[in-house]
Amino acid sequence: MDHFDVVIVGSGHGGAQAAIALRQAGHEDSILMVSRDRNPPYERPPLSKEYLGGEKPFEKILIRPEAFWADRNVTLRLGANANEVDPVKHTIALSDDTMVSYRKLIWAGGGDARRLGCPGAELAGIHTIRTRRDTDALMAELAAGAQRAVVIGAGYIGLEAAAVLRKMDRQVTVVEMQDRVLARVAGPEISEFYAAEHRKHGVDLRLETGVERIEGDGEKVTGVTLSTGETIACEIVIVGIGIVPAVGPLIAAGAAGSNGVDVDTFCRTSLDDIYAIGDCAAHPNPYADNAIIRLESVQNANDMASVAAKAIMGDKQDYDAVPWFWSNQYDLRLQTVGISNGYDQTVLRGDPAERKFSLVYLREGTVIALDCVNNTRDYAQGRKLVMGRAEVDPDLLSDTEVPLKEMG
């Protein structure tokens, strides 16, 4: 059995940053990174944006050049899944029929794209966008001539993919059960603006609409039948309806958790010597009134990785990073800072018609989040308002002549 001082499960942003942070903190002992993916660590956001659109080759989305990991003495075991964890013996059984032991374990397993549960969900031509393999399969069908797509889910992934496909002049229908796009991450004002933009670009947007079944010829998708009874003909279906946290082995080993795996402020699970970070880690977040939440973002993965690495090195620091997110659609860059859940007031800065504006979220008079469209200055300056829990008069917030940096 091979032994490593630290084993990292997962090679996404969190897993990669954990290895980097350990080396930067002076960790000199052995590190193993285990991943189901067969590629060295790479960025995930471009999969539904620049990589899907052919604007960036795979080499340009690597988190570090491939030689980086060997140079830092980080062992990569790719194409292997962590099937079972024994927290008493400190061992992990892998899908390649090997077993490794560890002193410390960092679980950065992320999640699996949520699948459809309706009839026809097993047909070929149904795609998710979570890994390079996913996007490559979708790109292959587009290259082979697929012209019509139905996108299920109007969150970041669905809308980003829809925007890329429209740039390719493909016919796109977006189906969303909620009454607005981006309903889980943004306020109605942002939703209305993005819905209008997608329709302007030719997207057929169906809100408050479910999927009854996927139609096919026995093997391949031919259409999607909606809850309205209408069938939309298509060659490909893209499903963007969230993820299922990949924490099965930890929960089976006795770790606490219901929505992912629970961690404390140092990213420690309830199991000795096991940490969890990134999309799968449910943590008390200071920017959500310390509610236990999961955050699916590069920022969260990277910052939690640094917290876990420091804790392993004996430098315990609470996770206290302001959340931020972004989404590129057409020529629009949406940048979000903070968590808007529980807001009781919004303030609009600027004119959406000019395609440059911000929406400020307040709760009991305190700035808790901003959504900034093509407005990087507001995003950068508003970050300090969120971090400082600033109380600002709404009339002042709406005055674009006054920079946000003067309101803290």
| Per-residue model confidence as pLDDT tens digits over 174-193 | 999 999 999 999 999 999 99
Residue-averaged pLDDT of the chain:
97
The three-class DSSP label of residue 348 is strand
CA 245 to chain centre: 11
Query: What pLDDT score was predicted for residue 358?
Result: 98
pLDDT tens column, 100-151 = 999 999 999 999 999 999 999 999 999 999 999 999 999 999 999 999 999 9
Give me the DSSP letters along 166-214: HHTT-EEEEE-SSSSTTTTTS-HHHHHHHHHHHHHTT-EEE-S--EEEE
pLDDT at 408 over 80: no
**Cβ atoms within 10 A of the Cβ of 227, count?**
13
Q: Does an H or E element contain 91, and which?
A: strand 91-94
Confidence band for 5, pLDDT divided at 50, 70 and 90: very high
Residue 154 vs residues 162, 177, 339, 381, 388: alpha-carbon distances, Å: 9, 9, 19, 29, 32
Q: Measured at the alpha carbon of residue 391, what is the angle toward residues 388 and 356, in degrees to the nearest 5?
A: 85
Rg (C-alpha) for the chain, rounded Å, is: 22
d(CA 56, CA 211) in angstroms, rounded, equals: 33
Tokens 């699996």 appear where?
112
Cβ 164 vs Cβ 49: under 8 Å: yes
Confidence of residue 1 (pLDDT cuts 50, 70, 90): confident
Question: Please, are residues 375 and 403 in contact by the beta-carbon 8 Å criterion?
Answer: no
Kindly state the helix (H) or strand (E) to which residue 276 belongs, with its residue range. Answer: strand 274-276
266-270 long-range contacts, CB within 8 A, separation 24+: 266/307, 266/308, 266/311, 266/316, 266/317, 266/318, 266/319, 267/304, 267/307, 267/308, 267/311, 267/319, 268/311, 269/107
In tens, the pLDDT along 279-301 reads: 999 999 999 999 999 999 999 99
pLDDT tens digit string along 318-359?
999 999 999 999 999 999 999 999 999 999 999 999 999 999
Question: Residue type at 93?
Answer: A
Mean pLDDT along residues 368-394: 97
**pLDDT grade for 385, boundaries at 50, 70 and 90:** very high
Cβ atoms of residues 194 and 329 within 8 Å: yes
pLDDT for 251-264, tens place per residue?
A: 999 999 999 999 99
Model-wide pTM > 0.85: yes
Band the pLDDT of 84: cuts 50, 70, 90.
Answer: very high
Query: Rounded to an integer, what distance in angstroms lies between the CA atom of residue 36 and that of residue 8?
Result: 12
pLDDT of 387 above 80:
yes
The fraction of the chain above a pLDDT of 90, given in percent, is 99
Residue 22 pLDDT class (50, 70, 90 cuts): very high
Q: For residue 350, what is the enclosing H or E element?
A: strand 345-351
Whether residue 311 contacts residue 22, with contact meaning beta carbons closer than 8 Å, is answered with no
**For the residues 193-213, what does the mean pLDDT come to?**
98
Model pLDDT, residue 130: 97
Question: 408 or 106: which carries more pLDDT confidence?
Answer: 106
